[in-house]
Amino acid sequence: MAEELLLSGNEAIARGAYEAGVRVATAYPGTPSTEILENIVDYKEDIYCQWSPNEKVAMEVAIGAAFGGVRTLVAMKHVGLNVAADPFMTLSYTGVRGGLVIVTADDPSMHSSQNEQDNRHYARFAKVPMLEPSDSQEAKDFVGYALDISEEFDTPVILRVTTRISHAKTVVEPAKREEQPVPEEFEKDPEKFVMVPANARKRHPIVEDRLEKISQYGEEASINQVEKNSHQLGVITSGISYNYVKEVFSGASILKLGLSYPLPKQKIKNFAKQVDKIYVIEELDPFLENQIKAMGIEVIGKDKLPAIYEFNTKIIRDSLLEEQEELEVEPVEDLPPRPPALCPGCPHRGVFYTLNKLGVAVTGDIGCYALGVVPPLSAMDTVVCMGASVGNAFGMELALGDKIKGDIVGVIGDSTFMHSGITGLIDIMYNKGASTIVILDNRITAMTGHQENPVTGKTLMDEETVCIDLAELSTALGVKEENVRTIDPYHLKATNNAIKEELAKDEISIVVAQRSCALLKSVDFKEPYYVDSDKCKDCGQCLDLGCPAIVKEDGKAKINDYLCTGCGVCTQVCSFDAIVREGDNDE
């Protein structure tokens, strides 16, 4: 027996891909899915892997690889599947050749997401089978299992995990890699792979028939487990909820659905006959519950259990058991909150400080810089989804015309611009808009923990590659050269002037605010600053920057030398030259 490992669900999925003979893996980073590809890259000798500019492209590359005949994995967070939904829905019709597993990492409770959608609906929507692991061991094993089902039934398979699977570490027993053969050539079959209407019409009945066959398969498959216990209570569950059920109802009979779509109807009916009462325990939507109720089986579920946020044992106990547990210790109210903040030395701070002072409307986007909404910067008015800021800014211009002219800025990160901001820019160009877009180019995909992207010059597998120049790209799309500016956001005056000048123009402008993320290893911190208390007038201007290194102590501003990166932005907001560093006076 190999040594047991303590792996997160994401690490386990990577291990599972390796063991199952996957040869191609693609993704766009997104919490809680990011570490899947970050761990697959450890196997780059055996698995080609890449960050794609967005999930749709990641899906399309994965589809090509599977059509080519090798085992393939594509991973994304729940909202990523929205981006990739177009190719995904048709992939259901074409089916695959090499196995293809699509990992969707849902985020109940929205620990780091803009919504809480339950992606199990995508399995039903696209009519593809779905597996739901309940711990890391299953997360690993189910990758291989999903690929087997994919190849046996000629279908993509969804592996649906949630934050508590992705980011929880549990014990895993690793195994050896099983190599899969690579076909000699691409075997042409336009009726299967070319979805013109005449072919697609022939494929739809195949999809329906396939679903029925997989449902039959699920009746016997050991992945749908019955744990026979008390006949008084039966619980039907899947995914992470299984663990909470095991703790709360240790004596109950359990039907654990590892293959949770399509449902094994006969198995469910048989289970229902053997128990007096049934709970369906699942996070978020009544996905299993509604289907089971539609079979005419009486169950207790969302009428008692919450349909929002993630579960834990207490929520299940309090919802379903008669006696409510009193909390022995009440939460302490009125404690100071500890909101996340842009890091000390973050280059975005200068831009948001400037936008706040300018008092303009700001359409924002997904990334670290979404923290620009937090006081005292308070410089962001909308955030919808990846890439939306560019289109949102143009739409607001269209709505308000002269009333908002020169008063609206769209902000977007470098990676997000590559992801889906670029098409928004093309739209503004094409439809003759005059928006001002600030690209917050910190040379990395920062929010998810520093992944390479098309502006960084490196691939996931650490190879040198082209480095896309955002300013040149903008001019290539038709933005006038004089309306494309690259500025250093550490210089507040230059930032302010550039944004102000571009806002005054009646044409589309791009301001590239370029400065590396302060946390990049390649960035050297400079000598920290300190506040000269003789000069400090206690005006509080420096505190408006929201820099975690600047604190107020006994009424005076102080700089924490451990946190200060020496970026010097605060020296530019102090009217009394009170922020200095060693050696300043010698100059």
Partner 1 sequence: MSNTTNIMLAGVGGQGILLASEVISKAALKEGFDVKKSEVHGMAQRGGSVVSNVTYGEKVYSPLIAKGEADLLLGFEPLEALRWGYYLKSDGAIITNTQRIDPLPVAAGKIEYPDNVIDRLKTIGQQVISFDALQLARDLGNQRVVNTILIGKFANFSDISNGSFKEIIAENVPPKTVELNLKAFEVGNEQE
List all residues 6 or more positions away from 266 whose beta carbon is below 8 Å from its beta carbon: 219
Say whether the peptide bond before residue 376 is cis (omega within 30 degrees of 0): yes
Q: Which stretch binds partner 1 (CB under 8 A): 65-73, 154-162, 194-202, 238-246?
A: 238-246
Q: Cβ distance 366 to 392 under 8 Å?
A: no
Least Å distance between CB 299 and partner 1?
22
Site for partner 1 in 514-543 (CB under 8 A): 519, 540, 543
Interface with partner 1 includes 352 (CB under 8 A)? no
**Least distance (Å) between residue 147 CB and partner 1:** 26
Give me 192's structure tokens.
């299967």
Rounded CA gap, 4 and 410, in Å?
49
287/301 Cα distance (integer angstroms): 10
If the CB atoms of residues 127 and 256 are measured against partner 1, the closer one turns out to be 256
- The rounded distance, in Å, linking the Cα atoms of 422 and 439 is 11
Nearer residue to partner 1 within complex by CB, 461 or 543? 543
Contact residue for partner 1 among 197, 359, 401, 555 (CB under 8 A): 555
Q: Which is nearer to partner 1, 94 or 565 (CB)?
A: 565
Min separation Cβ 168 and partner 1, Å: 4
Q: Which of 41, 168, 221, 307 binds partner 1 (CB under 8 A)?
A: 168
Q: Which of 522, 562, 575, 586 binds partner 1 (CB under 8 A)?
A: 562
The Cα-based distances of 375 to 15, 371, 372, 587 in angstroms read 42, 9, 8, 36
Do 323 and 349 form a contact (C-beta atoms < 8 A)? no
Q: Check residue 424 for interaction with partner 1 (CB under 8 A).
A: no
What is the phi/psi pair of residue 550, to 5°?
Answer: -100, 120
> In the set 44, 169, 177, 293, which binds partner 1 (CB under 8 A)?
169
Of 163 and 509, nearer to partner 1 (C-beta) is: 163
Between residues 221 and 315, which has the closer beta carbon with respect to partner 1? Answer: 315
Rounded to 10°, the helix 348-358/492-504 angle is 50
Least spacing, CB of residue 494 vs partner 1, in Å: 26
**Interface mask (CB under 8 A) for partner 1, residues 278-317, using x and -?**
--------------------------------x-xxxx-x
Residues in 62-91 that interact with partner 1 by CB under 8 A: none
CB 267 within 8 A of CB 302: no
By CB under 8 A, name the one of 307, 341, 384, 468 that touches partner 1.
341
- Counting contacts by CB under 8 A, is residue 32 touching partner 1? yes
| Alpha carbon distance 522, 533 (integer Å) | 33
Q: Which 3-state string (H, E, C) describes 369-398?
A: HHHHHCCCCCCCCEECCCCHHHHHHHHHHH
Question: For residue 75, what are its two tokens?
Answer: 């991973």
The residues pairing with 51 across neighbouring beta strands, listed in sequence order, are: 27
Window contacting partner 1 (CB under 8 A); options: 142-150, 221-229, 241-249, 569-577: 241-249
Among positions 184, 323, 328, 481, the unique one binding partner 1 when judged by CB under 8 A = 328
174 binds partner 1 (CB under 8 A): no
Beta bridge partners of 484: 510
* Count of residues in contact with partner 1, rule CB under 8 A: 55
Comparison of 233 and 477: residue with beta carbon closer to partner 1: 233
239 scored as a contact of partner 1 (CB under 8 A)? no
**Residues 6 or more apart whose Cβ sits within 8 Å of residue 262:** 129, 211, 212, 214, 215, 218
In the set 254, 550, 564, 569, which binds partner 1 (CB under 8 A)?
550
The answer to whether residues 298 and 273 touch, using CB atoms and an 8 Å cutoff, is: no
In this structure, the number of other CB atoms found within 10 A of the CB of residue 294 comes to: 10
Torsion of CA 86, 150, 80, 199, to 10 degrees: 0
Q: Does 6 bind partner 1 (CB under 8 A)?
A: yes
What is the C-alpha to C-alpha distance for residues 248 and 227, in angstroms, rounded to an integer? 15
Binding site for partner 1 (CB under 8 A): 4, 6, 31-32, 111-112, 135, 163-164, 167-171, 240, 243-244, 246-247, 310, 312-315, 317, 325, 327-332, 335-341, 343, 375-376, 447-449, 519, 540, 543, 546, 548, 550-552, 555, 562
